[in-house]
Chains A and B, each alone.
Chain A
Amino acid sequence: MATATDEELVRKSKEGDERAFGELVSRYESKVYSLALRMVRNPEDAEDVLQDTFLRAYRGIKSFQGASTFSTWIYRITANSALMRLRKKQLPTVSIDDAEERETPVNIADWTPGPVEQLLSQELQHEMDEAIEALPPEFRQVFVLRDVEEMSNAEVAEILDLSVAAVKSRLHRARLKVRNRLAGYFSDNAKPKRSAMGAH
């Protein structure tokens, strides 16, 4: 069973083979959990999204037509489930229409020289998490799938049922928002920390 392709496992699952569906669960549960956690930002909600995703997949596998791959299908269910959870919680994020960014953040040129490893501290990682959390859910989906999970624009478009143009537009705006937040962090914190580390 472990060597079967996703397509074979899907075909068997559609015929009612529980072990085949179980293998799909084993194959994708970590990826689904990881994606859910990056979107909803806490382990309890991520586990709820994980369970909801595979419940929906279990109920819907017989009507899954195979127009997309199983992985695209399961990530689409995950992204929708996470989005619904975020909306239900009504977290204090700005709406997608109000999410325009100013063109130039403060002190932007200050933090780019030097290797990534030198900049990454626990505090910065926390700030990076907060920056994602502050994104409107629709932007967060695109940013996480594209820049964190490193999927292509076409894959993200397929998962979120958007046009590639819409993905690109949301991605650009999300990147600016996240970058501006990090620029704010660096303008407040980076100079003393980096001089303490002997950098620049």
Chain B
Amino acid sequence: MLTCKEVLESLSDYLDADMKEDIVNEMKRHIGSCSDCRAEFDTLTMTIKLYKHEHIQGAQVMPVGCHDRLVKVLELEKMKSKGPQPPKMV
């Protein structure tokens, strides 16, 4: 029989389905009958869901000019290492 402490320590592995089946079943039983651990499980699950959802919704776009500035930095590096007049990189 798992204690609350053991359940709480293993919650992330349980959420990630990263544990043996017999432990999963014990975790399931404990969470089903212990309201404190169930609340821990529910809130941790919701936290991860919120971040995953936000990630899908809010793709990060590179600012205008960011690509060109990166290419310039790399061209300069190339000039430093190989001498002047490098061929265009991109």
Chain A residues with CB under 8 Å of chain B are 18-19, 21-22, 25-26, 29-30, 33-34, 37-38, 43, 47, 50-51, 54-55, 58-59, 103-105, 108-109, 111-112, 116-117, 119-120, 124-125, 128, 147-150, 153, 168, 171-172, 175-176, 178-179, 182-183
Contacts and interface: CB of A to CB of B under 8 A. Distances in A.
B71 A33 contact: no
B56 to A, nearest CB: 10
A19 B78 CA distance: 13
Instruction: Say what secondary structure dominates the interface of chain A.
Output: helix
Contacts of A117: 53
Given A19-B89, A175-B47, A50 B12 contact: no
A43 B87 CA distance: 30
A148 B50 contact: no
A38 B66 CA distance: 17
B36 interface: yes
Given A112-B43, A172-B12, A182 B90 contact: no
Interface in B40-90: 40, 42-55, 57-63, 66-67, 69-71, 73-74, 77-78, 86-87, 89-90
B63 A47 contact: yes
Contacts of B42: 108-109, 112
A175 to B, nearest CB: 6
A59 B82 CA distance: 12
B70 A51 contact: yes
Contact of B43 (A22, A172, A179): A179
A150 B45 contact: no
A29 B67 contact: yes
B53 A55 contact: no
Contacts of A168: 12-13, 18
Contact of A104 (B40, B73, B87): B40
B74 to A, nearest CB: 6
A141 to B, nearest CB: 15
Contact of B74 (A58, A111, A120, A171): A58
Contacts of B38: 109
A30 B48 CA distance: 23
Contacts of B47: 175, 178-179, 182
Given A111-B43, A168-B12, 19 more contacts: A18-B78, A22-B90, A25-B90, A109-B39, A109-B43, A112-B42, A112-B45, A116-B46, A116-B50, A119-B46, A124-B50, A147-B48, A147-B51, A153-B16, A171-B12, A172-B9, A175-B12, A179-B47, A182-B43
